[in-house]
């Protein structure tokens, strides 16, 4: 991202601090409960996109993976190449589908599977904020920026709250679990920074505040949940 325009408009230290804040350095380790006696749900976030790199509210925009995002998914592929995976589900957004393709490319069985698309696990709709700069908002109104991004129940204008996203993700989870049990399926899911919050709340029993504040790294790693 070219920061020259921001450095010209704001103090350099303020810009650098805002960039650091928006760079997800506080991402938490992902749980890996891979009990061989149960079916396993593998969940991961897509790789970095152009919108991520430029600190843009992406939401339902179809941003492309950057080279860094592609490389992140290839790191994930090394971790998933020996996993016994029977079904692939991605959101219906390009970045999640492309990440799934890259992440399972080395898995000799899973890379031949159809990728099912489900809009319930797509990214949060940011409404009127989509396409706008997170960095600009962080520099001009950090309180509002934090409220829109990390409040559990606040909706941006014409958009969704995290709570709204969690509800549709929970609908997906409660539908996929019986199928996993019935047909003995291990499932891989490629989703987004906000939709993965729904998975983490459900399986890790997070509070609403924890769900809104938890950060998940872009691709590179996965969460594994045993379905009992």
- To the question of whether residue 49 is assigned a binding role by annotation, the answer is yes
Q: How far apart are CA 14 and CA 110, in angstroms?
A: 46
Active site residue 123: yes
- To the question of whether residue 167 is assigned a binding role by annotation, the answer is no
Token duo for residue 189: 């899911």
Token duo for residue 165: 């996203």
Active site residue 46: yes
Report the run of H or E that residue 176 belongs to, with start and end: helix 162-183
- To the question of whether residue 26 is assigned a binding role by annotation, the answer is no
Phi, psi of 17, rounded to the nearest 5 degrees: -65, -40
- To the question of whether residue 50 is assigned a binding role by annotation, the answer is yes
Please answer whether residues 209 and 150 qualify as being in contact, where contact means their C-beta atoms are separated by less than 8 angstroms. Answer: no
- To the question of whether residue 47 is assigned a binding role by annotation, the answer is yes
| DSSP 8-state secondary structure symbol assigned to residue 112 | G
> Choosing from 34, 46, 147, 228, which is the catalytic residue?
46
- To the question of whether residue 193 is assigned a binding role by annotation, the answer is yes
- To the question of whether residue 159 is assigned a binding role by annotation, the answer is no
Annotated binding-site members: 45-52, 95, 123-126, 134, 149-150, 193-194
Annotated binding-site members for substrate: 45-52, 95, 123-126, 134, 149-150, 193-194
Q: Which residues are catalytic, by number?
A: 46, 123
């Amino acid at each position: 991202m070219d920061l020259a325009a921001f450095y010209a408009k704001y103090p350099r230290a303020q810009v650098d601090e805002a960039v650091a804040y928006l760079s997800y350095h506080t991402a938490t380790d992902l749980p890996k409960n891979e009990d061989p006696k149960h079916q396993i749900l593998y969940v991961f976030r897509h790789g970095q996109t152009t919108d991520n790199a430029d600190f843009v509210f992406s939401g339902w925009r179809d941003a492309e993976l950057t080279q860094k995002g592609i490389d992140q998914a290839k790191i994930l592929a090394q971790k998933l190449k020996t996993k016994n995976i029977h079904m692939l589900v991605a959101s219906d957004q390009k970045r999640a589908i492309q990440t799934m393709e890259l992440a399972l490319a080395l898995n000799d069985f899973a890379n031949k599977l159809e990728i099912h698309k489900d809009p319930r696990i797509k990214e949060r709709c940011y409404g009127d904020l989509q396409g706008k700069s997170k960095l600009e908002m962080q520099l001009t109104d950090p309180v509002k920026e934090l409220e829109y991004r990390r409040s559990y129940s606040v909706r941006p204008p014409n958009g969704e709250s995290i709570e709204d996203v969690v509800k549709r993700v929970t609908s997906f989870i409660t539908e996929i679990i019986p199928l996993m049990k019935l047909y003995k399926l291990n499932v891989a899911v490629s989703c987004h920074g906000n939709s993965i919050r729904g998975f983490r709340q459900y399986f890790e029993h997070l509070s609403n505040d924890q769900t809104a504040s938890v950060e998940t790294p872009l691709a590179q790693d996965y969460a594994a949940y045993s379905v009992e």
